[in-house]
Each structure stands twice: as structure tokens, then as C-alpha cells.
RNA sequence: AGGCGCGUAGCUCAGUUGGUUAGAGCGCUACCUUGACACGGUAGAGGUCAGGAGUUCGAGUCUCCUCGUGCCUACCA
């Protein structure tokens, strides 16, 4: 039967029982590990017990500096996908690791209101009900979205709990929470007061389906095969003469207010100052000269439509041209389009081309590849549209000579006088990408024509047309006092509020001008783990806004805040993308999305986490492949069974009257100088692998850390140490109890350390086994609250090299046995010719006997001819067995080996006879090669002789 | 059009500043139902590191070119 070993919340040290206590429950674990049987239980326990909530340290409490991470807030509309799971796995590993290093560790979760996406979803729902946003009206619609959010907004948070994210749930936020909304409004008002927010008519990317402006970043460009049409515009006062312009969007010609040519273009010099007749509409428009025009593209003459193209808008500004919009907000032609009014833009294009052709004004139609912009949310082709929007001036200082938002954001990643960067990117090349963008940044359009979001706190006055921006809703115009004011209908870009999160989640704006306790304790955050796709959207905005507002918040002691204290985070780790097994980007439309929850249900969370971690080499995309997850499920099962073996022996020990002090279990594994070799070895090995894992995690080398713990647990611990332990776990009356007890104690300590090393990667399995190991009376409420083994950086423990020799002998004997066809169960004698002093064989006879099935070892000065030999630099070994060797196979093997040695030896001797090598290479390299060359000489002799013997 | 990245075993991927014999998992072959584990054990096979040139005593690693491939940025009508 399966017992549950849930710890009692009321555990105290006094209640800690010994492992061998008579009434302790038997450790009966099922033979195969079943993640489903334990994962939900622990997931709930971690949340219910609030194990990872962190209170704000009292100011001046002297607490260790906090490790703080802000979770990139998933959209309320979202479900957990593989990308999230990957991001969360990496973050959770780091967060668990840091916590186990003893730092107060806070990982702040929350969700984003996701303006456009959420509004779209709810509108779709309304459509299904035969209703619409317009029918409901703004207030009722917003209420409806809130209801929707109450219902569905928590899906992703539940999944986070299920996969074991150790976030601080007490700090969970939603970007439209009252306090955060208040902070957003404060930020807007301050920027407005500083003259950094302005309103104006500009060309923006307009989504005709969402019917809102969207930012440049929200436009996805797509190359497509299109056409380039050449259209003739007649020259006024010059009968029969044309100017031919080239365009990809003929429907916009209805809004043309000029034709531009390059001032130096000889072909058009005679047209300078002339006027043209716009076809179809008949408007009289000028020829203007502008250096922006590329002479070698198209015909060198460009139609200028200031209301429908950003470049044309700029030309229009330079030449004071009128801007005529010919489309409405749904991309249908409006009254300015004359006969084409009411037509959809593509229908209008068809009709216009048809009419032009009929009039002989269509000069040519050419194939042309161009990039069209599509709305990143709904895939509708974006229409550049002239409209009045709100902008943040990112290149303007608040005061003469002061920094700009962009300049601060650049300074944030620039080396200061002390050679120190306030903010670092990993992988490093992202810094360059970020800097390029920040250096060429345009003003940020922050208004959206949506209903769901933070409404812009500005009021328009009907009387004086002025704008009132205020912290409190005004009742009258601040300029003329008129009561006839109405609030701006636009809301803010979602990224405006999420860009403020690093300050707002910690209580900005401070009421008294001093940093809040949370800001003091947790700002700047330590690390941001996020994807490349939101580097500009979010990371850059957080840096701009965070730096901008925090420069005005003094340090706790009242001194001005230095640059490395105003940045929102000290490090940004940009993770890779998870692709499908064929390296394709996962997308709903392709139908290749892998649902992590489904995979988790089949393999267990730990196996999926381990898969992701083991492939998470910085900067390299992951092709998620289930075969690996299968492998890591096997790994979990292996550990489970190692635990079963260990617990079985604890039970046997108890029956034999051997008691292990549970307080000793958490000690780092150590072995006395006179302890058996494998004990000294595993203690040293645990120590060195711990150091290696810590080093790897410190450099975000997740794959390396994961592989180290995998090799250690499976290879070192299970394959070697556990097998040898079977010799030591002798509970018979004849055995020396203290020896057995020492062996069992070290086994338990090593296992306990290994569980802790593994726990950030496989939190569920390790939590379960750790509690069982402590028999339900663990020293902490969770393995996640214990200390991570540190190890020591360099350890040249002689036990490690001695054990390596022992392993080499055992492997050689096993291989010889196979060559000779010895039955698995048969024990055979071996002969050894030692070639080095102090070989660790005589003292470890029983290990060799057991692991290589050897009956006796004979040490000789020379080995008899006629039998196969395995030769190493330290020893030669022979297995004594009469059965005939497979001569052909053996010859083949030796021939290959000989070729390999010969090649290597040729290389080595060439190098060693090279004067410049001897002169320039480091001494250690030369010395190493000399030693190897001597070894090769010997190995070659032996191999040749062995081949001779076969004949 | 610019910029970045990748190409290593049948498959999926490691390989930190150039340094002796290029690694792992899966798959494959052979043997083993040994009292933790067949989601296992043991031993194997498998690579001219895409191709070419260069720098160097020494190149999977640095430089250039070619081929293949992926991504990002961009206001060429």
C-alpha cells in the first residue's frame, strides 16, 4: 500500500523523531514512480502554506540583499503555453537556487489586462450573442470585460501553481488594480506636466478591424508578391505631356496633394514649379522638390498622399501641403473619394485601376515584392492613417540640458567611470540590439481607441478647446473655468502600464517623496527573465520609464539616487524560443502548438522541467522533443528506485538495531581518511559536483547544471556508489555494526545532498522523497527552504583519481569478459600487470569481485602470451578463461585501435619535433604531450603484440 | 536593403577564453528477468565538426569566401 508522508505544519525540533523509531511508518513506495500521485498534493501544499511569501524587511534590519524577480505578466486572456513553461522553469530554477543560497527571494506574479486582445475576445463573445460593444455602451462593456476577467483571467495562474512556480502569491497584482491604476495616472500626469506628453495629428498604424491606432511594434511585416502600377498625371498648361508616377497603392491617389521629384533629377527639371491634374478627381496639385525621393526607384516621381503614408506626411509637412483623408476608420472610402465613396479599399483599387486604364492613364503594371504591415493581433492589413493621438516625447529633456528618456535608457547599459554597467544583458549581444533601437527611437504613440484599459486622464473643453490633465477628475476647465468638459475617450497603450511595473508593484509613487519600504528593499530588481519578442515592447519601456521616475526618488538616506539604483533591474536574461520538434515556431494557425499541461500530465512536471532545463543553453532555440522527456521521466524513476533501495536498507538497519540520527542527514557528506575508497570518493565527488553546478547556475548555463546533476545522480551515485554500498550494508550478526552504520549514514547524507542539488530542477519528486527520508519529520517545511550544497571550487581529492583507476580496471575486465564470451554469472580469475605504483586494487578486492565478477586477482610481472590483454598506461589486465575468443572480431577491434594510436602518435611526434611548438606552447601542454607520447609508444607495442598473438 | 544566428554521431543537442584522445540523451547491436529500478544493467558500433582558403607551433573554436538554413530590424513609393 502507498503511504502519504505529508509533513505536519506544527513540526518542531522537539517532535523530530529518529528514523528508526518503532512506530515510524514503513517506507513502502510503489515500484514505479507515478508523478500524478504526488504532484497536485505538493503544489497545493506550497501555496497553502505560503512558503514563498516574503514580508518586506523592516528598514535597517540588516537583512541580506534580496533577490527580486518580476514575472513578465501573462495576459489575462492567456493559457499556459510551452514558452511560458520554459520561461517559468528557468526563472524558478534560479529563484529556488537563490532562495536556497539563503537570500530573501521574491518572485512577483501578476497578470496584464492586455487591452486589444482582451477587448477582441469579449467582442467576439458579444457577437456570438448577437450583441456588440456599441450596443452595450462603454460603461456596460467595461463591466462585462471585468466579469470576463473574473471568470477566465486566472487560468494561467492556476497552471503556474500546478507546475510549481515559487512566486510570492501575497504580492499578486493585476495591471488594472486600483493602486496600479492610480500610479499609471500619476505617471501620465507627471510626464504631461514635464512637457513630455503631447497630442497631435500624425500618421499612425491603424487597424481597420480593431479600429484603433497600434504602435510600430504591433505591426508584423510580411513580404508578398504585389504590383507596382505606373500612372500618368497630366501636366497643366502643357497639353499631351504626362508625369508618370509609380505606386503600390493606387486607391490612395484620391488623396494626393502633390507629386514629388528629386531636385537634381534631370528628367524632371523642366517641371519644377509646374502643376498637375490629378486623374479621376481632377484636383490641381503642385510638383514639389524633395531629396527624399529616390531617383532610381520606379519612375523617380512620387505621388504624395500626406494623409495615408508616413513618408508622404513628412513631405507634406515640409512643403505645407494639405492632407486629405479618403478613407474612414473601417478602411472604406469616404466622401473625399468622390465616386468611389463607400467602397472597401481593395474594391476601390480595382475600380480605380479599371477607370485609369479606360482613360489610357495606366502606363504600366509591374510585379513588385513589397512588405505589407499586418496587425499583430488580428492579422488585418494595417492602414497608415492620419489621426490625432497622444505621444510620449522620448528624445526631449524635461529641463534644458537634462537627460531624455532615451538618453537615460542608453546610460543604463553604458559602462560608467568605474568600468561598471548598471544593467547587463545575457546573452550579451542583446545589448547591441537594444542600443541600436534606443538610439534610433521615435516618439511613442500611447493612445489606443479602445474601451478596455487605463483611460487617459485628460478633459477637453468645449468652450476654449483647451485640455485639462489632472490627478483628480476635474469639474471645470483649468483654463477658462467652463463646466462643459468631456473626458478623452482613448485609453493608454497596455505597455505604458506594464512598462511601469518595476516601480508600481513596489508602491510607487511614494506619498512622502521618500522610497517606500518595498522600493528600498526590492528596487532595483535583481533579474528579469524574458523573451526576445518583448525586448522593445516591454524591456526597453521599463528601462525608460523606470529610470525616468526613479531618478526623482532619493535613496533612503536622502542622497540622490545614482544610475545603478535607478535602473529597474540589474540583469536581463533573454531566453530562447521553444519550437516544435521540427524547429518550427509554434503557432495556433500552424496547429503545432504543444500544450505543456498535456505533456505534464503524461510525463510529470519534473520530467518536462528537466527537459527544458537540459536544453536551455543561452541563446539557442529549443526544439522540444518528447523523446527527451521520456528519458527524464526514466531519470525520475531511477531516483525513485534509488530511494526505495535506500529506504529498504534503513528498515533493515532498524531491524538490526542500527539507528541513524536524523539531524546528521543534512550534513555535507564526509568520510574519514581510513574509510573505504568509495566513501571517500563519493564525499569528494558530491563536493566537487556541487561546486560545478553552482558555477553553471551563476552563468545561466542551465543545460550544464542539469547535465551535471543528471550524470552525478545516475552515473556516480546509482551506477557506482550504490552498487558498492551493497557490499557495506551488511546487517548480519557477524558484521561490525559501527562500520555498517557509517556506510549507511554516508549513503543517506549523500542522497540527501543529491536531492537538494536536484530540487530546483525537479521540485516535486525531491520534495516527496526528502519528506520520506525524514520520515515525515523534516527539519524544514520544504526542501526548498533548506540550504543548497555549495561544494568547494577546486578539489583534487586523491580518492577521486584512485577511484577512477578502480573504475578503469572494472570496465576493462567487463569488456574482456564480453570479448571472451564469459557467462554473465560466472566469476573468473584475472591477472594484472601493474605499471604504476600504488594501484588501489589490493585494498579494494571485494569491490572488483562484485562489480566485475572476479573470483581472484593475481599480480604478475609479465602476462602469459596467447590470451587477450586490455592495456592501459597504468596496468595491463587479462581474464583467465579457456573459451575461445572470437578471433575475427578481436582482430578487427585491435586493428582499429592500432590505427587510432598510430594516427595520434604521428601527430604527437610531429608536434614534439617542432621547435616553435616547444618554444611557444605553454610548458604544461608540452609536458602533457610528452607523457602522452610515451604512453602511446607503449600502447602501440602492446597492441601490435596482441595482434601478433592472434595469428 | 541592412543586422544577427545556425550548420558537430541516424535523430535532438553540448563543446566557457584556440591546447593533448570531440561529449551526452534517444535510437541501434550483443548479452543479462543479479532482491532498488526492464522507465533497468553491462559492453559496443557510429563523427574527414557543411565546403574552401587563411592566421597560428596548434583550429570544431579566430578571419575571409562559397553553399544551405533560420530570425530580427527597415518610411523605397
CA of A619 to C1' of B70 (A): 13
pLDDT of A624 higher than 50 = yes
Q: What are phi and psi of A84, to 5 degrees?
A: -60, -50
Q: Which nucleotide is nearest to A926 (CA to C1')?
A: B20
CB burial of A395-407 (b: ≥16 within 10 Å; e: otherwise) equals eebbeeeebbbbb
CA of A225 to C1' of B70 (A): 21
Answer yes or no: is A308 CB < 7 A from strand B.
no
Query: Cα(A520)–Cα(A60) distance, rounded to whole angstroms?
Result: 10
Give the number of other Cβ atoms within 10 Å of residue A860's Cβ.
Answer: 12
Q: Which nucleotide is nearest to A636 (CA to C1')?
A: B39
Task: Residue count of chain A, please give it.
Answer: 951
- DSSP-derived letter for residue A428 is T
CA of A403 to C1' of B7 (A): 45
> Per CA to C1' distance, which residue is closest to B73?
A437
Q: How far is CA A477 from CA A485, A486, A839, in A?
A: 6, 10, 94
Answer yes or no: is A909 CB < 7 A from strand B.
no
Q: Give residues 499-558 of chain A lying near strand B (Cβ < 7 A).
A: 536
Closest CA to A386 of A214, A199, A201: A201
Query: Cα(A524)–Cα(A501) distance, rounded to whole angstroms?
Result: 12
Question: Between residues A755 and A449, which one has the greater pLDDT?
Answer: A755
- State the Cα torsion A846-A850-A856-A857 to the nearest 10°: -70
pLDDT in the model for residue A25: 42
DSSP string, A892-908: HHHHHHHHHHHHHHHHH
Answer yes or no: is A222 CB < 7 A from strand B.
no
Query: Cα(A783)–Cα(A73) distance, rounded to whole angstroms?
Result: 27
Q: Which nucleotide is nearest to A919 (CA to C1')?
A: B57
Contact A507, A43 (CB under 8 A): no
pLDDT in the model for residue A568: 95
CA of A621 to C1' of B68 (A): 19
pLDDT in the model for residue A649: 92
pLDDT in the model for residue A170: 96
CA of A711 to C1' of B16 (A): 20
CA of A696 to C1' of B58 (A): 29
Give ∠ CA A528-A534-A539 in degrees, rounded to 5. Answer: 45
pLDDT in the model for residue A403: 92
Counts of helices then strands in chain A (DSSP H, E): 29, 29
CA of A627 to C1' of B27 (A): 10
Chain B footprint bases within 7 A of protein beta carbons: 4-6, 11-16, 19-21, 24-27, 31-34, 36-46, 56-58, 70-77
pLDDT tens, residue by residue, A629-658: 888 999 999 999 999 999 999 998 988 888
Query: Cα(A826)–Cα(A823) distance, rounded to whole angstroms?
Result: 5
Q: How far is CA A124 from CA A118, A128, A133, in A?
A: 10, 6, 10
Q: Stretch A468-490: mean pLDDT, rounded?
A: 93
> Per CA to C1' distance, which residue is closest to B24?
A707
pLDDT in the model for residue A718: 94
Helical spans, DSSP H, in A62-154: 82-100, 115-128, 133-136, 138-152
Q: Stretch A829-842: mean pLDDT, rounded?
A: 89
pLDDT of A415 higher than 60 = yes
Which residues have C-beta within 8 Å of that of residue A379, sequence separation ≥ 6?
A: none
Q: Poorest-confidence range of A8-12, A659-663, A822-826?
A: A8-12
CA of A605 to C1' of B60 (A): 35
Helices A702-710 and A737-758 sit at what angle, rounded to 10 degrees? 160
pLDDT in the model for residue A793: 60
pLDDT of A763 higher than 90 = yes
Q: Give residues 368-397 of chain A lying near strand B (Cβ < 7 A).
A: 368, 370-371
Answer yes or no: is A914 CB < 7 A from strand B.
yes
Give the number of other Cβ atoms within 10 Å of residue A894's Cβ.
Answer: 20
Q: Which nucleotide is nearest to A226 (CA to C1')?
A: B77
Q: Give residues 624-683 of chain A lying near strand B (Cβ < 7 A).
A: 625, 627-628, 630-631, 633-634, 636-638, 641-642, 644-645, 648
Q: How far is CA A622 from CA A159, A203, A213, A576, A709, in A?
A: 21, 39, 34, 7, 20
Share of chain A above pLDDT 70, in %: 95
pLDDT in the model for residue A588: 64
Query: Cα(A31)–Cα(A50) distance, rounded to whole angstroms?
Result: 32
- DSSP-derived letter for residue A825 is T
pLDDT of A839 higher than 50 = yes
CA of A926 to C1' of B59 (A): 18
> Per CA to C1' distance, which residue is closest to B25?
A628
Query: Cα(A58)–Cα(A107) distance, rounded to whole angstroms?
Result: 19
CA of A613 to C1' of B5 (A): 21
pLDDT tens, residue by residue, A654-682: 888 888 888 889 999 999 999 999 999 99
Q: How far is CA A849 from CA A251, A381, A642, A846, in A?
A: 89, 75, 22, 5
pLDDT tens, residue by residue, A211-251: 888 877 778 877 777 788 889 998 888 888 888 898 888 99
- Return the bridge partners of A75, or none: A112
Burial of residue A354, with CB atoms counted within 10 A of its CB: 0-12 exposed, 13-18 middle, 19 or more buried: exposed
> Per CA to C1' distance, which residue is closest to B75?
A311
pLDDT band at A587 (very low <50, low <70, confident <90, very high): low
pLDDT in the model for residue A581: 66
pLDDT tens, residue by residue, A312-358: 888 888 888 888 989 988 889 999 888 999 999 899 999 999 999 99
pLDDT in the model for residue A482: 93
Q: Which nucleotide is nearest to A430 (CA to C1')?
A: B4
Mean pLDDT for chain A overall: 87
pLDDT in the model for residue A13: 35
Question: Between residues A608 and A337, which one has the greater pLDDT?
Answer: A608
Q: Give residues 440-499 of chain A lying near strand B (Cβ < 7 A).
A: none
Q: Stretch A195-208: mean pLDDT, rounded?
A: 88
- The whole-model pTM stands at 0.87
Cell numbers for A639, please give them: 531516483
Could you report the predicted ipTM of this complex, rounded to two decimals? Answer: 0.92
CA of A632 to C1' of B9 (A): 21
Question: Between residues A124 and A170, which one has the greater pLDDT?
Answer: A170
Query: Cα(A710)–Cα(A704) distance, rounded to whole angstroms?
Result: 10
CA of A790 to C1' of B27 (A): 37
Q: Which nucleotide is nearest to A625 (CA to C1')?
A: B12
Q: Which nucleotide is nearest to A638 (CA to C1')?
A: B37
Answer yes or no: is A935 CB < 7 A from strand B.
yes
pLDDT in the model for residue A237: 83
Contact A768, A672 (CB under 8 A): no
pLDDT band at A885 (very low <50, low <70, confident <90, very high): low
pLDDT tens, residue by residue, A167-198: 999 999 999 999 999 999 999 999 999 999 99
Answer yes or no: is A726 CB < 7 A from strand B.
yes
Answer yes or no: is A346 CB < 7 A from strand B.
no
Answer yes or no: is A237 CB < 7 A from strand B.
no
pLDDT of A440 higher than 90 = no
Answer yes or no: is A921 CB < 7 A from strand B.
yes
Answer yes or no: is A893 CB < 7 A from strand B.
yes
Q: Give residues 557-596 of chain A lying near strand B (Cβ < 7 A).
A: 581, 583, 585
Q: Stretch A445-469: mean pLDDT, rounded?
A: 92
CA of A279 to C1' of B11 (A): 62
CA of A586 to C1' of B9 (A): 28
pLDDT of A20 higher than 50 = no
Closest CA to A309 of A355, A265, A245, A359: A245
Q: Poorest-confidence range of A279-283, A370-374, A461-465?
A: A370-374
pLDDT tens, residue by residue, A671-727: 999 999 999 999 999 998 999 899 899 988 899 899 999 999 999 999 999 999 999
pLDDT band at A884 (very low <50, low <70, confident <90, very high): low
Q: Stretch A474-499: mean pLDDT, rounded?
A: 93
Q: How far is CA A890 from CA A342, A576, A870, A897, in A?
A: 87, 47, 11, 10
pLDDT in the model for residue A579: 74
Cell numbers for A293, please give them: 525621393
Amino acid at each position: 500500500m502507498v503511504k502519504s508522508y505529508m509533513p505536519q505544519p506544527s513540526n518542531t525540533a522537539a517532535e523530530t523523531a529518529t528514523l528508526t523509531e518503532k512506530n515510524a511508518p514503513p517506507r513502502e513506495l510503489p515500484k514505479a514512480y507515478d508523478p500524478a500521485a504526488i504532484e497536485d498534493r505538493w503544489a497545493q501544499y506550497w501555496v497553502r502554506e505560503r512558503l514563498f511569501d516574503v514580508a518586506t524587511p523592516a528598514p535597517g534590519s540588516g537583512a541580506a540583499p534580496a533577490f527580486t524577480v518580476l514575472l513578465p505578466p501573462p495576459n489575462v486572456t492567456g493559457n499556459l503555453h510551452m514558452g511560458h513553461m520554459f520561461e517559468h522553469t528557468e526563472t524558478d530554477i534560479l529563484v529556488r537556487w537563490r532562495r536556497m543560497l539563503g537570500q530573501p527571494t521574491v518572485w512577483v506574479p501578476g497578470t496584464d489586462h492586455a487591452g486589444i486582445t482582451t477587448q477582441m475576445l469579449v467582442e467576439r463573445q458579444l457577437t456570438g450573442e448577437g450583441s456588440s460593444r456599441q450596443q452595450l455602451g462603454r460603461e456596460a462593456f467595461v463591466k462585462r470585460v471585468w466579469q470576463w476577467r473574473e471568470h477566465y483571467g486566472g487560468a494561467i495562474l492556476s497552471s503556474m501553481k500546478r507546475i510549481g512556480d515559487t512566486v510570492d502569491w501575497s504580492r499578486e497584482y493585476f495591471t488594472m488594480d486600483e493602486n496600479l491604476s492610480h500610479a499609471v495616472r500619476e505617471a501620465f500626469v507627471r510626464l504631461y506636466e514635464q512637457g513630455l506628453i503631447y497630442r497631435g495629428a500624425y500618421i499612425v498604424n491603424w487597424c481597420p478591424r480593431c479600429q484603433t491606432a497600434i504602435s510600430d511594434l504591433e505591426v508584423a511585416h510580411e513580404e508578398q508578391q504585389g504590383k507596382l502600377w505606373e500612372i500618368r498625371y497630366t501636366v497643366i498648361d502643357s497639353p499631351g505631356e504626362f508625369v508618370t508616377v509609380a505606386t503600390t497603392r493606387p486607391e490612395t491617389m484620391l488623396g494626393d496633394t502633390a507629386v514629388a521629384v528629386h531636385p537634381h533629377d534631370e528628367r524632371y527639371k523642366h517641371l519644377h514649379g509646374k502643376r498637375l491634374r490629378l486623374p479621376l478627381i481632377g484636383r490641381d496639385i503642385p510638383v514639389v522638390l524633395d531629396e527624399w525621393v529616390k531617383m532610381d526607384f520606379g519612375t523617380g516621381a512620387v505621388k504624395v498622399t500626406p494623409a495615408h503614408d508616413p513618408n508622404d506626411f513628412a513631405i507634406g509637412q515640409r512643403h505645407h501641403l494639405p492632407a486629405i483623408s479618403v478613407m474612414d476608420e473601417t478602411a472604406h472610402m469616404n466622401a473625399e473619394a468622390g465616386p468611389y465613396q463607400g467602397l472597401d479599399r481593395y474594391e476601390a483599387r480595382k475600380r480605380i485601376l479599371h477607370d485609369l486604364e479606360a482613360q489610357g492613364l495606366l502606363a504600366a503594371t509591374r510585379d513588385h515584392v513589397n512588405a505589407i504591415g499586418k496587425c499583430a493581433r488580428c492579422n488585418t492589413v494595417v492602414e497608415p492613417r492620419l489621426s490625432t493621438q497622444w505621444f510620449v516625447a522620448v528624445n526631449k529633456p524635461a529641463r534644458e540640458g537634462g537627460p531624455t528618456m532615451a538618453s537615460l535608457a542608453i546610460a543604463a547599459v553604458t559602462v560608467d567611470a568605474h568600468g561598471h554597467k548598471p544593467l547587463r544583458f545575457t546573452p550579451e549581444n542583446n545589448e547591441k540590439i537594444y542600443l541600436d533601437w534606443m538610439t534610433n527611437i521615435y516618439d511613442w504613440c500611447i493612445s489606443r481607441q479602445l474601451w478596455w484599459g487605463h483611460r487617459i486622464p485628460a478633459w477637453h473643453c468645449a468652450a476654449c478647446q483647451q485640455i485639462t490633465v489632472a490627478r483628480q477628475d476635474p469639474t471645470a476647465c483649468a483654463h477658462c473655468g467652463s463646466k462643459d468638459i468631456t473626458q478623452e475617450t482613448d485609453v493608454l497603450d497596455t505597455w505604458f502600464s506594464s512598462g511601469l511595473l518595476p516601480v508600481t508593484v513596489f508602491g510607487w509613487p511614494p506619498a512622502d517623496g521618500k522610497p517606500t519600504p518595498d522600493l528600498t528593499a526590492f528596487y532595483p530588481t535583481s533579474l528579469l527573465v524574458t523573451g526576445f519578442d518583448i525586448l522593445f515592447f516591454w524591456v526597453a519601456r521599463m528601462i525608460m520609464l523606470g529610470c525616468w521616475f526613479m531618478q526623482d526618488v532619493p535613496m533612503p538616506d536622502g542622497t540622490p539616487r545614482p544610475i545603478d539604483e535607478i535602473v529597474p533591474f540589474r540583469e536581463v536574461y533573454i531566453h530562447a524560443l521553444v519550437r516544435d520538434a521540427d524547429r518550427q515556431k509554434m503557432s495556433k494557425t500552424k496547429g503545432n502548438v504543444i500544450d505543456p499541461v498535456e505533456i505534464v500530465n503524461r510525463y510529470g512536471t519534473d520530467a518536462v522541467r528537466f527537459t527544458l532545463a537540459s536544453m536551455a543553453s543561452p541563446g539557442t532555440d529549443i526544439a522540444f522533443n518528447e523523446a527527451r522527456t521520456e528519458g527524464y521521466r526514466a531519470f525520475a524513476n531511477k531516483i525513485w528506485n534509488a530511494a526505495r533501495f535506500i529506504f529498504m536498507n534503513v528498515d533493515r538497519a532498524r531491524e538490526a538495531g542500527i539507528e541513524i540520527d536524523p539531524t546528521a542527514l543534512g550534513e555535507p557528506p564526509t568520510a574519514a581518511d581510513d574509510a573505504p575508497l568509495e566513501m571517500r570518493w563519493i564525499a569528494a565527488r558530491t563536493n566537487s559536483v556541487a561546486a560545478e553546478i553552482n558555477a553553471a547556475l551563476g552563468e545561466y548555463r542551465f543545460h550544464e547544471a542539469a547535465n551535471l546533476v543528471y550524470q552525478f545522480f545516475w552515473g556516480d551515485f546509482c551506477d557506482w556508489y550504490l552498487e558498492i554500498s551493497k557490499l557495506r550494508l551488511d546487517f548480519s550478526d557477524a558484521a561490525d555494526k559501527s562500520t555498517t552504520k557509517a556506510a549507511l549514514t554516508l549513503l543517506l547524507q549523500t542522497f540527501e545532498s543529491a536531492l537538494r542539488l536536484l530540487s530546483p530542477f525537479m521540485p516535486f519528486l525531491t520534495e516527496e522523497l526528502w519528506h520520506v527520508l525524514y520520515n515525515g519529520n523534516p527539519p524544514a517545511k520544504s526542501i526548498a527552504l533548506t540550504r543548497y550544497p555549495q561544494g568547494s571550487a577546486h578539489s583534487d581529492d586523491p580518492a577521486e583519481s584512485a577511484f577512477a583507476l578502480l573504475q578503469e580496471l572494472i570496465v576493462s575486465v567487463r569488456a574482456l569478459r564480453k570479448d571472451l564470451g564469459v557467462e554473465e554469472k560466472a566469476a573468473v580469475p584475472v591477472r594484472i600487470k601493474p605499471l604504476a605504483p600504488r594501484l588501489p586494487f589490493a585494498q579494494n578486492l571485494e569491490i572488483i569481485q562484485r562489480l566485475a565478477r572476479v573470483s581472484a586477482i593475481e599480480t604478475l610481472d609479465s602476462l602469459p602470451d596467447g590470451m587477450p590483454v586490455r592495456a592501459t598506461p597504468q596496468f595491463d589486465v587479462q581474464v583467465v578463461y579457456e573459451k575461445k575468443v572470437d578471433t575475427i572480431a578481436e582482430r578487427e577491434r585491435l586493428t582499429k585501435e592500432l590505427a587510432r594510436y598510430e594516427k595520434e602518435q604521428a601527430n604527437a611526434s610531429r608536434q614534439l619535433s617542432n621547435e616553435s611548438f616547444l618554444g611557444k606552447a605553454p610548458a604544461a601542454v608540452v609536458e602533457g604531450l610528452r607523457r602522452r607520447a610515451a604512453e602511446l609508444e607503449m600502447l602501440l607495442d602492446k597492441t601490435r603484440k596482441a595482434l601478433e598473438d592472434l595469428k
